[in-house]
Structure 1
């Protein structure tokens, strides 16, 4: 039985994986983007990020400022990646073969795959600790249920992720708004802080970096969810939709988290939200906490979906595979087992786990996002021969030395400025950190160095030859599109 002739229930499962989406299958809608990314951040993970600054003595006001600046930087990068989806109709990591090569992209895929797994491990820890603190639920049972649910959502794929996120948003948004208004009106409890909160550069940059990392870590798969949009969708509208959705929700809940930490003395974000909501009236906190947990579980499904596409891209780089539904499902199941096992082995506190994961992801992804965006917007300006990205002997090469060099140089320049949180019994502080008063600017260094390095190296590219190859590629894609339509 072919995948196209299966039962109606199975046919609901997305057919495509890492292949190009023909124009005839571009059924995505622009207005779906903002709700998707709003709810992607409108969940429990965002709240503990607001604990980071206050945990280092940063005041509520300065935490809000740091979060706003960090989100502006991180979400800008993320939103610009999103505009690549409609133009190219490809998963983000397939597109990255143009900068890093058919096999060279595996180096970046390892960093990306770490991001997916780290997110879901952290989400699993957060759900277990949060629901235990709020309701006394067994964290191990929570982990199993959340893991299975996330895997099922990822298996059903692109359209079901969009549906689940919109549904959860419609329900959770008004209720969380009520909690927030209750806080502003002084109905959520809380008291004047007993500890002193003020300003320090170390705390400010820690909060800023965590906020920036939050949305930069979406960058490797944001276009996976925009690639079904029509090719003529205006890039500015895609960028604006993704930016407003992702930044708006994150800022709201990060500031809410800071208030819970400072004014309510919360040590767990979900438990704090639960208490504040119930203080406003009735069992509001029960419902809002559960919805926030469900949204985080749905985000785990989003991560599993993107992670599976990365795994398939890595395999395809060395052994060409048929990009089928079955291959995507198997990849999801393998990732599911991996994150569940690692998550069950984590013993650290939830907030510490969040900060560590975000810091590591930021260090790894910044050199990639700099290289990819510079190539797309300043070097090749969105012009790619898509069919060449699927050929090991294509014009983009097996190992693209320019992109790999830019990534490596950027990451190496980060190391002296790194301030790694404690990992078990191990920590690391670069030798340049003391010279910048203990402030973590490693990712900013990596961003600048990788961008400049790639711009310089890309001057030797033969863009005229690439334009000819793109013309041939466009003709081949037109024939594929016509065949698909019939």
Structure 2
């Protein structure tokens, strides 16, 4: 197999790098590509399902859409801010956490992130299987391993193929789902029985808002994975803006569509409701829409597999240095695939309750991490890192960086009273009628505490190491760490 370093040929090839630094000579791509990448990346069945929650709890369409727009708009802000880290550092997202947590302390957010990736893979594979079974035979015992194998192949090719596919999928998704949305807001209300009377429900509004926010915040764990090949001096404002527009627009659109479908077709799941609604355009168009959505979902499953591989290798490297070769990438992807397959096969048929709990757990685990990571990048170190030291367990960032670990732990604990999941409702959430606003104390306390602990951080050794770091990185640009 051959690999291409610079990605300039215009055709996707097998990516050679994984957790290592991307040298300046290999940087390529355009900032605006982040827009369609994250639009397609968020325009999937799982996003649609988030919009089913509010109406399912008695919230009207209008209030559901307002909660979705507010939640997605808020959550995407944090996600988009991470995009700037890619070109500035030339590293995947999660390995950057070593600067805040240490090479071994970073295992805390790494473990949480792997949980998120596997969850996304599992639910994605389930939904794609449901879509394919509309037109093709085969049980989950055939489709689950087949789809996971396809996602691994996509992830082996890596960065350039993923960008290429996502960019072209955007145009197809906009065209097909514009028609489905038009049917949902014009034909569906007249063609189906009036929805069950719904209105304002404080608990439902807050739950819908939290789920929308938490869902988009969860993308924070792999934002710079897909911006790290951009030129180092790419415009920060344009990069953040394109990322925000792509991810927020697709989330608000598809979640709102889910809210409309759930209101007029109570009890139907996402796949069935899309088929029914699309068929109002012409018989069979609903199936076409679902199959287009399945392609997008499968592509994103490849993205999740890719991210899980990067995070897993980063975690192992913190305890036992590894050389990130293509063979190691394939091995890591295979392990991720096997674990995801086992979880998917073990999941009950009625998975919606499991999905809602999964999205909330993502919120709990990732909120303290994103707060610590962003405060460090924008307020403490202001984007200035000794990149080579991130790969050195004995370097300036150490094995255990207590400030980041403490801030994460305290932020997580502060959220517990606000938890509202099927097996535990905290006292604060109970007082709010079961509503979940855990992301508010999580962000404020984890981010605020880290700033207080790190604001006077002695950085003289890091500054010295930083001067040497870039020369070292570029000198070995033909190698991998």
Query: TM class by shorter-chain length?
Result: over 0.9
Kept in 2, the 8 Å contact 1:274–1:285? The answer is yes
Q: Is 1:327 paired with 2:323?
A: no
Residue matched to 1:430: 426
Partner of 1:171: 172
Distance (whole Å) between structure 2 residues aligned to residue 51 and residue 223 of structure 1: 30
Query: Kindly tell me: are residues 404 and 71 of structure 1, through their superposed partners in 2, closer, same or farther at Cα, counting changes over 3 Å?
Result: same
Written as runs of structure 1 = structure 2, the 5 A alignment for 1:343-354 is: 343-354=344-355
Change (3 A) 1:190 1:148: farther
Q: CA 1:469–1:197 in structure 2 vs 1: closer, same or farther (change >3 Å)?
A: same
**Structure 2 CA distance for aligned equivalents of residues 324 and 414 of structure 1:** 39
Corresponding residue pairs, total: 475
Q: Which residue of 2 aligns with 1:417?
A: 418
3-state DSSP of counterpart to 2:435: coil
> Which digits, 9 at most, give the CA deviation of each residue in 1:402-446, with x for residues without a partner?
00000000011111211113xxxxx11112323334321222211
Q: Distance in 1 between matches of 2:68 and 2:185?
A: 19
Tell me the SS of whatever aligns to 2:400. Answer: coil
**Cα deviation, residue 477, structure 1:** 2.6
Q: SS of the residue aligned with 1:280?
A: coil
Matched, 1:477 2:478: no
In the other structure, the counterpart of 1:207 is 208
Aligned-partner Cα distance in 2 for 1:454–1:255:
35
C-alpha contact 2:4 2:15 (8 A) present in aligned 1: no
Residues 184 and 142 (structure 1 numbering): CA distance in 2 closer, same or farther, change over 3 Å? same
Query: Partners in 1 of 2:266 and 2:76 — Cα distance?
Result: 29
1:375 Cα deviation from its structure 2 partner: 0.5
Counterpart of 1:218 in structure 2 is 219
- Tell whether the 8 Å contact from 2:396 to 2:461 is kept in structure 1 after alignment: no
Which among 419, 444, 448 is matched to residue 444 of structure 2?
A: 448
String of CA shifts for 1:116-140, please: whole Å, max 9, x gaps.
0011112122233455478786344
What's the offset of the Cα at 1:463? 2.8
Q: Which runs of 5+ in 1 are unaligned?
A: 422-426
Does 192-201 or 315-324 show the bigger shift? 192-201
Query: Once the two structures are superposed, what CA deviation does each residue of 1:253-273 show, in whole Å capped at 9, x if it has no partner?
Result: 111111111113352112111
CA shift for structure 1 position 384: 0.4
- The DSSP-based 3-state class of the residue aligned with 2:395 is coil
Corresponding residue number in structure 1 for 2:105 = 104
Asked whether the equivalents of residues 195 and 265 of structure 2 are also in contact (C-alpha less than 8 Å), the reply is no
CA distance in 2, matches of 1:401, 1:244: 35
Tell me if structure 2 keeps the 8 A contact 1:98–1:396. Answer: yes
User: CA 1:133–1:259 in 2, change beyond 3 Å: closer, same or farther?
Assistant: farther
Shift of 1:356: 1.3
CA distance in 2, matches of 1:133, 1:414: 42
Contact 2:151–2:299 (Cα < 8 Å) also in 1? yes
* Shift in CA distance, 199/274, structure 1 to aligned 2, threshold 3 Å: same
Q: Is the 8 A contact 1:42 1:253 kept in 2?
A: yes
How much does 1:189 deviate?
A: 5.9
RMSD: 2.2
Task: Specify the SS of the correspondent of 2:464.
Answer: helix
**Does the residue aligned with 2:421 lie in a helix, a strand or coil?**
strand
Aligned equivalents of 1:176 and 1:214: distance in 2? 21
Q: Which moved more, 1:196-205 or 1:472-481?
A: 472-481
Name whichever of 142-151 and 125-134 sits farther off: 125-134
Partner of 2:143: 142
Q: Tell me how far apart the structure 2 counterparts of residues 471 and 448 of structure 1 sit (CA, whole Å).
A: 33
SS at match of 2:104: coil
Alignment of 1:191-340 (within 5 A): 191-265=192-266, 267-340=268-341
CA contact (8 A) 1:133 1:268 kept: no
Q: Deviations 1:205-244 (Å, cap 9, x if unpaired)?
A: 1111111111111111110000000001011111111111
Structure 2 unaligned regions, length at least 5? none
- Bigger Cα displacement from structure 2, 244-253 vs 191-200: 191-200
2:440 equivalent to 1:439: no
Q: Provide the rounded CA distance (Å) in 2 between the counterparts of 1:434 and 1:347.
A: 28
CA contact (8 A) 1:188 1:280 kept: no
CA distance in 1, matches of 2:310, 2:456: 31
Deviation at 1:111, TM superposition (A): 0.4
Deviations 1:276-307 (A, max 9, x none): 11111232111111010111111110000000
Contact 2:15 2:160 in 1 (8 A): yes
Change beyond 3 A, Cα 1:266–1:245? farther
Find the counterpart in structure 1 of residue 392 from structure 2: 391
Give, in angstroms, the shift of residue 480 of structure 1. 3.2
Contact 2:188 2:264 in 1 (8 A): no
Q: Secondary structure at the match of 1:449?
A: helix
Residues 122-137 of structure 1: matches in 2 within 5 Å? 122-132=123-133
TM-score norm. by structure 2 comes to 0.94
Distance in 2, Cα, partners of 1:134 & 1:405: 52
1:191 deviates by 2.9
Separation in 2, partners of 1:352, 1:229: 39
Instruction: Report the more deviating stretch, 347-356 or 367-376.
Output: 347-356
Contact 1:130/1:271, CA 8 A, preserved across alignment: no
**What residue is the counterpart of 1:463 in the other structure?**
459
Where does residue 424 of structure 1 map in the other structure? none
**How far off is 1:194 after superposition?**
4.1
Match of 1:14, SS state, is: coil
**Cα pair distance change 1:174/1:315, threshold 3 Å:** same
